[in-house]
Amino acid sequence: MTFDRDAAVAELVALLGDAAVLGSPADLSGYERGTRYGAGRAACVARPRDAREVQQVIRWARKHELRLIAQGANTGLVAAASPDDTGNQVIVSFERMRHEIDLDVHNRTVRVGAGVLLQSLNDYLQPHGLCFPIDLGANPSIGGMIAANTGGARLMKYGDVRRNLLGLEVVLADEPATHLDFMSGLRKDNSGVDLKQLFVGTSGAFGFITSAILEVHPLPQQRACALLVPSTPERALDLLRAFELKCGELLTSFEAMSKAAMECVFRFRPQIRNPFGETVPELVILVELTSAMPASMGVDLESMLETVLTELAESDDATLADALLGRAEESWQLRHAISDSLREAGKVIAFDISVRRSSIQAFRDLMIQELKQRWPHLKVCDFGHLGDGGLHLNLVWPHDCGIEPDAAVIQEIRAFVYHVLVSQFQGSFSAEHGVGPYNSAIYQRYTASNQQHIAGSLQRLLNPDGALGTVKFGP
Amino acid sequence: MTFDRDAAVAELVALLGDAAVLGSPADLSGYERGTRYGAGRAACVARPRDAREVQQVIRWARKHELRLIAQGANTGLVAAASPDDTGNQVIVSFERMRHEIDLDVHNRTVRVGAGVLLQSLNDYLQPHGLCFPIDLGANPSIGGMIAANTGGARLMKYGDVRRNLLGLEVVLADEPATHLDFMSGLRKDNSGVDLKQLFVGTSGAFGFITSAILEVHPLPQQRACALLVPSTPERALDLLRAFELKCGELLTSFEAMSKAAMECVFRFRPQIRNPFGETVPELVILVELTSAMPASMGVDLESMLETVLTELAESDDATLADALLGRAEESWQLRHAISDSLREAGKVIAFDISVRRSSIQAFRDLMIQELKQRWPHLKVCDFGHLGDGGLHLNLVWPHDCGIEPDAAVIQEIRAFVYHVLVSQFQGSFSAEHGVGPYNSAIYQRYTASNQQHIAGSLQRLLNPDGALGTVKFGP
């Protein structure tokens, strides 16, 4: 370390107060390690309370030549919020900006501090008959959700974070610690370059997100689910089309679960039984309808689902082999149990990828075939968001196969999957987790060089000295 | 002119063929004048057929030091596609890229050439049960819609162009004529900086848009409309909230029409009668529900509207003074007749602005009061998209008042409205028409200087020599 850490920390305490700085190893440990990947050593944790204090932290850090990392709830999966091993990175935590929630009922928007947690926001909105419906397996902060542009399992109805972002406050880590106010809360505004878009999905590497205005939605008053078995996996897309045309605006989720993924659940979670009896279908679709319309409006989602299923069963095209209606909780329990069950079955090599919906079966088929040939032990236990093209192509190297895969083999498998995905299918190697140190080599490998040049120039423009963030978007 | 126009034109003809270049005054005239504002002289019109030919045009123009302007259907309202008086700007028309439409049914997306017209796209999609639902009063090209990020009257349900854009092909007007391929067609992709966002709503000043992939939507199978009279204009927002909570996903439009605007229609369009009889209400709301769900799904929009109206009429809060149900065509006819009727009533000073929905009545009230005091002849004949905060605050200086307003007075009125709008209400001076020479002075005046600096740097990065476009986003 080239600086006097204790003196620097004392200076920050003098600036912002005791509660604004954490410096002891015990205090730091919860911030230094990511949920799945990423671990290092931080110089300290700074905990500003607003944009002005963020500016003070930036000026202090620049003076001491410390680099900065924004951290929300530390739930990210690409290590974008984790420090490296140098010990001269400062984690800027937004946990003291968790309580600012200001609802504008008539604008149907909410102004939130960057540190507000998704669950807290939804708890706050619920009595007003509203929600922020980005549906995730974690409880991230709003700032983190913006930096990762999270999507989730209900994207086909509600979109991603970008779609619901109507205002943003940002502080740049440049010399003047530039404060940018995009907090308009407007739905229709084309009065210039929409600069706030630059901070969405860029892993906190372009500027500190301190506040946001989000569009919120009427809370669903009804929900209906069914499990569908397409006659062949390929026909799943015909089912999707039928549901889109018949249930239109109310179609909320269309999730796919492969036979191999479900078998792991039934084996390692015996309390979850196979709803289809003895045999496990090749592919099961979880379809969900939701609506803000109360039943008093004459809309009954259960009977709507029943009507579609009856029509499909009676039609000649035989898209549907089997269907179970009205088991919302049980269905989602099965879907949500997959990730953990796979980890009990073996070493999981996880992928968060997407392809065009029309290519999803061709990609799956090719992967299953090619991976089996190359690594016979490997099981493709995929599941995902068929409705939006998102696919968790999780591969399991079974514990009970007698051989442990080493890091080189895992690297080889990853490289093979990404290569086919991007080169042959123009897919995305990071559908909803963003880019961080964990996958930035993949970014560099598969992003067109002229695009990397532009992205790098943007980063230099907004974060000129590289004082902020863990990702380099330039070549 | 510092160049030999005829020689340059001949060179372009030799490169791309006869049909690719228009040079005679008669041929040029339709391209040189904008729909409402903007008129000048072009060096010629280039009509490339694809991205490769756009690159050739760029190299040719740079060699001859000619500047370039992208033009779609020439329907814009801020003169962004019109040449200046120098005669050394080349209009690049996308009219020979009007026929590439490639539907991916299972991805529910369509790949289109930049010149494809909105109406042609919808004609193509209709037999497939699909549509591109951005609803406008004009028939623009898709490239133009992206450059202006158009919104329209159904934004609350379908969003703007940005929300529906899943892929983009761009050619920069830099020295190598850089070709950028963002044509993924993916719904979920956070594998880097989403650079295509930079070309949305930036008036064609950052790069040539040559192709796009759009998400398309199931064609509505049902529609129901009603005209509502809120008990006071302020209560319109309570009605909006009631409809959002009760009709949720199916609420498509919530349009407001002021008494003064409707009076002009009834006076100058006698074939359109006042549906409320003798007196004209202070404010009328046109509410529209649409749904992709056919009636066979058990959803009947007419009876749904009736249920809401009955509930509102029976409730104690007296938000609703009167309502007329089931006159979809008649209702929209009234709404669409406003613009032209105002022009018959007098000199129209038009505004395309937006504020937060929660501020819309306070802004209207203040404007009506202040404008009357300052310019007693002026009539505020506003109408707009209450559901998304968009407001056409059109002012009429009546023909029959005996005084003609001169340009200075009109300037003063404009300046006053923009000042109150932006300074007091944080509103947008251009909600859906974008920025062009017509309003770029307003952009410079009201955009924060640090934002102008960033926008200008982006423009220099992507369009380094200013070879393209009519707008300067820098300070």
Residue A133 falls inside a structural domain: yes
**CA–CA separation, B354 and B350 (whole Å):** 13
Residue B433 falls inside a structural domain: no
pLDDT the model gives residue B137: 85
List, in order, residues 6 or more apart from B450 with CB less than 8 Å away: A178, A179, A180
Whichever domain contains B309, its CATH number is 3.30.70.2190
Mutate to test the interface with A, among B187, B235, B386, B452 (most CBs of A within 10 A): B187
Choose one of B36, B69, B96: the last residue of a domain: B96
pLDDT the model gives residue B315: 86
Distance from CA of A358 to the nearest CA of B (A): 5
Q: Which two tokens stand for residue B346?
A: 């007098």
B459 → chain A, closest CA residue:
A193
CA torsion sign, A53 to A54 to A56 to A57? positive
Residue A421 is given by DSSP the state: I
Chain B residues touching A109 at Cβ < 8 A:
356
Distance from CA of A344 to the nearest CA of B (A): 28
List, in order, residues 6 or more apart from A249 with CB less than 8 Å away: A157, B157, B249, B250, B291, B292, B293
pLDDT in tens, B172-219: 999 999 999 999 999 999 999 999 999 999 999 999 999 999 999 999
Chain B residues touching A456 at Cβ < 8 A:
none
**CA–CA separation, B148 and B370 (whole Å):** 31
| Among candidates A192, A300, A455 on the partner chain, residue whose Cβ is nearest the Cβ of B195 | A455
Mean pLDDT in each 10-residue stretch from start to end of chain A (475 residues)?
82 96 94 88 97 98 96 93 94 96 98 98 98 93 97 95 98 98 98 98 97 98 96 96 95 98 96 94 97 93 95 89 90 95 96 97 96 96 97 95 92 97 97 95 97 98 96 96
A432 → chain B, closest CA residue:
B190
**A462 with B454: Cβ contact below 8 A:** yes
Is the domain of B213 the same as that of B289? no
Is the domain of B101 the same as that of B87? no
What count of residues does chain A have?
475
pLDDT the model gives residue A1: 47
Distance from CA of A356 to the nearest CA of B (A): 6
Residue B472 falls inside a structural domain: no
Whichever domain contains A31, its CATH number is 3.30.43.10
Choose one of B218, B233, B268: the last residue of a domain: B218
Mutate to test the interface with A, among B108, B109, B178, B191 (most CBs of A within 10 A): B191
Is the domain of B334 the same as that of B391? yes
Instruction: Give the torsion through C-alpha atoms of A185, A191, A197, A199, to 10 deg.
Output: -80
Is the domain of B106 the same as that of B35? no
Report DSSP letters for B50-99, one per residue: SHHHHHHHHHHHHHTT-EEEEESSS--SSSTT---SSS-EEEEE-GGGS-
Chain A residues touching B473 at Cβ < 8 A:
192-193
Say what percent of chain B tops pLDDT 70: 99
Is the domain of B120 the same as that of B32? no
pLDDT in tens, B367-404: 999 999 999 999 999 999 999 999 999 999 999 888 88
**A184 with B426: Cβ contact below 8 A:** yes
Is the domain of A103 the same as that of A201? yes
Chain B residues touching A186 at Cβ < 8 A:
354-356, 389, 427-428, 431
Burial label for A278, CB within 10 Å (0-12, 13-18, 19+), is: exposed
In terms of Cα–Cα distance, which of B359, B367, B470 is closest to B417? B367
Distance from CA of A270 to the nearest CA of B (A): 33
pLDDT in tens, B116-148: 999 999 999 999 999 999 988 899 999 999 999
Chain B residues touching A189 at Cβ < 8 A:
354, 428, 430-431
List, in order, residues 6 or more apart from B369 with CB less than 8 Å away: none
**CA–CA separation, A411 and B403 (whole Å):** 79
| Among candidates A148, A202, A293 on the partner chain, residue whose Cβ is nearest the Cβ of B246 | A293
Rg (CA), chain B: 24
Distance from CA of B15 to the nearest CA of A (A): 26
Chain A residues touching B179 at Cβ < 8 A:
450
A134 is in which domain, residue-wise? Answer: 97-218
Whichever domain contains B175, its CATH number is 3.30.465.10
Is the domain of B199 the same as that of B280? no
Chain A residues touching B455 at Cβ < 8 A:
192-193, 195
pLDDT the model gives residue B1: 46
Choose one of B193, B218, B243: the last residue of a domain: B218
Q: How many domains does chain A have?
A: 3
**A202 with B180: Cβ contact below 8 A:** no
pLDDT the model gives residue B143: 98
**CA–CA separation, B3 and B64 (whole Å):** 7
Phi, psi of B143, rounded to the nearest 5 degrees: -60, -45
Chain B residues touching A461 at Cβ < 8 A:
454, 457-458, 461
Cα dist. B304→B252, B359, B385 in Å? 14, 29, 22
**A247 with B293: Cβ contact below 8 A:** yes
Question: Reduced to 3 DSSP states, what percent helix, strand and coil does chain B have, rounded to the nearest 5?
Answer: 40, 20, 35
pLDDT the model gives residue A315: 86
Residue B151 falls inside a structural domain: yes
Chain A residues touching B177 at Cβ < 8 A:
none
Chain B residues touching A187 at Cβ < 8 A:
151, 155-156, 354, 357, 388-390
Distance from CA of B340 to the nearest CA of A (A): 23
Phi, psi of B230, rounded to the nearest 5 degrees: -65, 150
Is the domain of A65 the same as that of A201? no
**A357 with B106: Cβ contact below 8 A:** yes
pLDDT in tens, A19-35: 999 999 999 999 999 88
Cα dist. B27→A147, B30, B38 in Å? 50, 7, 18
| Among candidates A241, A293, A451 on the partner chain, residue whose Cβ is nearest the Cβ of B195 | A451
Other Cβ atoms closer than 10 A to A349: 20
Is the domain of B283 the same as that of B242? yes
pLDDT in tens, B2-14: 568 899 999 999 9
Chain A residues touching B178 at Cβ < 8 A:
450
Q: DSSP H helical segments within B292-385, as ranges?
A: 301-314, 328-345, 360-374
What count of residues does chain B have?
475
Phi, psi of A438, rounded to the nearest 5 degrees: -60, -40
B177 → chain A, closest CA residue:
A450
**CA–CA separation, A339 and B427 (whole Å):** 46
A223 forms beta bridges with: A290
| Among candidates B180, B245, B455 on the partner chain, residue whose Cβ is nearest the Cβ of A195 | B455
| A–B CB contacts, 8 A cutoff, strictly below | 293
Q: Which two tokens stand for residue B269?
A: 């369009």
Distance from CA of B292 to the nearest CA of A (A): 5
B235 → chain A, closest CA residue:
A106
Residue A466 falls inside a structural domain: no
**CA–CA separation, A436 and A428 (whole Å):** 15
**B357 with A434: Cβ contact below 8 A:** no
Residue B138 falls inside a structural domain: yes
Mutate to test the interface with B, among A154, A162, A169, A191 (most CBs of B within 10 A): A191
Distance from CA of A191 to the nearest CA of B (A): 5
pLDDT in tens, B234-257: 999 999 999 999 999 999 999 999
Residue A198 is given by DSSP the state: G
Chain B residues touching A389 at Cβ < 8 A:
107, 186-188
pLDDT the model gives residue A371: 97
Residue A454 falls inside a structural domain: no
Phi, psi of A303, rounded to the nearest 5 degrees: -75, -25
List, in order, residues 6 or more apart from B432 with CB less than 8 Å away: A188, A190, B148, B149, B150, B151, B152, B160, B352, B390
Taking a C-beta distance cutoff of 8 angstroms, is the pair B169, B111 a contact? no
Average pLDDT for B259-270: 97
Instruction: Give the three-class secondary structure for A444.
Output: helix
**A354 with B188: Cβ contact below 8 A:** yes
Is the domain of A173 the same as that of A189? yes
Q: Which two tokens stand for residue A176?
A: 């003047």
Chain A residues touching B306 at Cβ < 8 A:
none
pLDDT the model gives residue B2: 54
Chain B residues touching A292 at Cβ < 8 A:
244-245, 247-249
B287 forms beta bridges with: B226, B254
A184 → chain B, closest CA residue:
B426
Query: Taking the model in full, what pTM does it have?
Result: 0.97
**CA–CA separation, B435 and B404 (whole Å):** 28
Is the domain of B289 the same as that of B382? yes
Rg (CA), chain A: 24
**CA–CA separation, A393 and A377 (whole Å):** 16
Distance from CA of A155 to the nearest CA of B (A): 9
Is the domain of B253 the same as that of B374? yes
Residue B466 falls inside a structural domain: no
Q: Which two tokens stand for residue A232?
A: 């062949």
Q: Which two tokens stand for residue B84?
A: 């200046």
Taking a C-beta distance cutoff of 8 angstroms, is the pair B463, B173 a contact? yes
List, in order, residues 6 or more apart from B400 with CB less than 8 Å away: B346
Mutate to test the interface with B, among A77, A193, A299, A300 (most CBs of B within 10 A): A193
Distance from CA of A93 to the nearest CA of B (A): 23
Distance from CA of A377 to the nearest CA of B (A): 29
**CA–CA separation, B348 and B352 (whole Å):** 13
